[in-house]
Structure 1
């Protein structure tokens, strides 16, 4: 508790235009396109408006709280949210099971993640995977945000093109405001002037979240629980861990896993598929856009967490307004915010002579977007990169080396009692 108190005490001095803008951009990204995935999936699955809002409440409110807790305790930009590919996974399963059975599958997925965190299994696995392979996965999984800048210009030439141009000119000439903030505000003005807000036919009213009692169906557990647990660990948490490592942080991998497990168990009682560490939002809050002082970037996550939790509480009212921004503009701004993360990850992945082939395969598998057994590409990028290196770069593995770069980046070994104190 002392660490959280100290984090709160120092929070005001790190709250500046850079951390506020990065946290806000991350929240806008998380509350627009991903929210529409949940809304669309809920509609296809036959959920009522109240059940849909309850789902949104669970993942945003508790996801925001996870980010705030970790940011204040560890003073690292570790954002909380939910698994976006997980939302796609469960949406496809909704027509096959009752909502209570789906909630039971969510709960079991949370238990699986919690056990892997308590036993320190994930920390040991991440500590063993070579850093270049992790960085290759990060670039492959997140390069879509970079390419999204270009495809958005094709979709919305004037708005997206203006956003990129303003960003570049701001980097070159404006030093007072963060370039991403200038780009976003001017672009929103252009959207308003050209009347391109995209309001959905969605009801706007305050809705009290509904509490569900999970029931357990073996088919639902096999179809949803196992792949969802792997998505939380191998996609979201692994991406966030890699991003933080690329920015020279020492992420508390096991604690991140434990909280992701607890988050998944809690959200199941509201019909939410999980609350866990967020890869893309962590990338935005950990980027150079959050300020030069890396020790203060955790404030961006606190801002993001407050906005996320507020969005969850008021989802029934604010969804039509937040999702009105053109998706092409959101994609452009998110891509611009992640430039430094992608560049740093690329440099780390290929600056050394070791594990380059494994890192390359991790990169291309992540870029491919493949999905096997309903598990998305970031997980398979890590698996494929390690297998390739074990086959043709086996001499690069040195598990006992004290100078291994991972030992400088992974969390310190300490009792869980002290980690949560």
Structure 2
């Protein structure tokens, strides 16, 4: 264990939890979940993410980062707004989606698809995903210039004089500025433990078509795909198919308690796989282990820990995330744009991913890979006509 690993794990938790928890609450309430059932959702999701990150990271001694599906939460929130489905029907859809994910892992087809994607495309995909997120850090300067600019200054000074602990000083500076300027919102702080609440599943065909299938597609295409690209771009070799199977099985078991989908993480994983976590790549797995432990603590601590993390202003979360990802974005761009043979393909992948385009309910990460592979096929797979 190292101090930098602790900081990286905490930053990843802060970013991962606060960036999408509101969407999950919206989805749960829209489906008619009570306060206890909503707390059970948080418990199930955090326990699933924590266990599937902590145990594999310690066993493999490599950073394995699992998170809940944010696009999946959007799918659920959108469906919940229509009022067509009950909570039990949604749980039935969670279980069907989890079974499809297990099938992907057992069959190994997803890993075979990933093996065919060139590293330049994978690196450009990761750069596009992370750049979209990091741009929010500088956009936050429009609403909180003092906070963001002071964090940027401390970050630059930290990289110059204390590179290993730059993110620690940046986080401390951000918290101090927010505290002294009255930006910390402590109104949500309250003591309370979350307990699992069993929700009986109802396997309704309309919920399977309208919830399970879209949830499965966005989890695999918009989450697992860039997640695999993240650890491969960082130089780690992980057993993709067994880990995909693990996420599906854990999601299946915890679905009746509110776990709708977990998957490989890209953004929070990049925070724990970069040099900020540790100079030695072989020791960065401890940052992922810290993430796993903190997610379990949040699941058990429930309301209290969630309120503590929610007390930080969103501008601080966006700034610390964007600054923590800068080095990973830079290295991904170098890896993607370095080989001249695939340079234009990588640029196309990067720009489509960065655009945020969404077609057929699937996010830009998937379409970035599609655009890159089509460009690669045209460049190398189509014979040139003789003039």
TM-score normalised per structure 1:
0.86
Match of 1:325 among 305, 312, 316: 312
Tell me which residue corresponds to 1:49. 35
Q: Extract unaligned runs of 5+ from structure 1.
A: 1-14, 397-421
| CA deviation after TM superposition for structure 1 residue 198, in Å | 2.6
| CA deviation after TM superposition for structure 1 residue 231, in Å | 2.2
**Residues 362 and 310 of structure 1, relative CA distance in 2, 3 Å threshold:** same
| CA deviation after TM superposition for structure 1 residue 113, in Å | 0.9
TM-score normalised per structure 2:
0.93
Tell me which residue corresponds to 1:38. 24
- Structure 2 CA distance, aligned partners of 1:223 and 1:361? 32
Alignment of 1:65-104 (within 5 A): 65-94=51-80, 95-104=83-92
Question: Is 1:231 the equivalent of 2:222?
Answer: no
Alignment of 1:347-386 (within 5 A): 347-386=334-373
Question: Is 1:174 the equivalent of 2:162?
Answer: yes
- Structure 2 CA distance, aligned partners of 1:31 and 1:73? 25
Tell me which residue corresponds to 1:191. 178
- Structure 2 CA distance, aligned partners of 1:256 and 1:328? 34
| CA deviation after TM superposition for structure 1 residue 251, in Å | 2.3
| CA deviation after TM superposition for structure 1 residue 240, in Å | 2.1
Contact persistence 1:230–1:379 (CA under 8 A) = no
- Structure 1 CA distance, aligned partners of 2:67 and 2:35? 21
- Structure 1 CA distance, aligned partners of 2:366 and 2:139? 25
| CA deviation after TM superposition for structure 1 residue 259, in Å | 1.5
- Structure 2 CA distance, aligned partners of 1:186 and 1:333? 10
| CA deviation after TM superposition for structure 1 residue 200, in Å | 5.5
Tell me which residue corresponds to 1:18. 4
Alignment of 1:106-145 (within 5 A): 106-145=94-133
Deviation per CA, 1:381-411: give whole Å up to 9, x if none.
1122212221233279xxxxxxxxxxxxxxx
Tell me which residue corresponds to 1:272. 259
Match of 2:288 among 285, 301, 305: 301
Contact persistence 2:101–2:248 (CA under 8 A) = yes
Contact persistence 1:355–1:393 (CA under 8 A) = no
Deviation per CA, 1:128-186: give whole Å up to 9, x if none.
111111112111122122211210111211111111111111111235x6101111012
Contact persistence 2:189–2:304 (CA under 8 A) = no
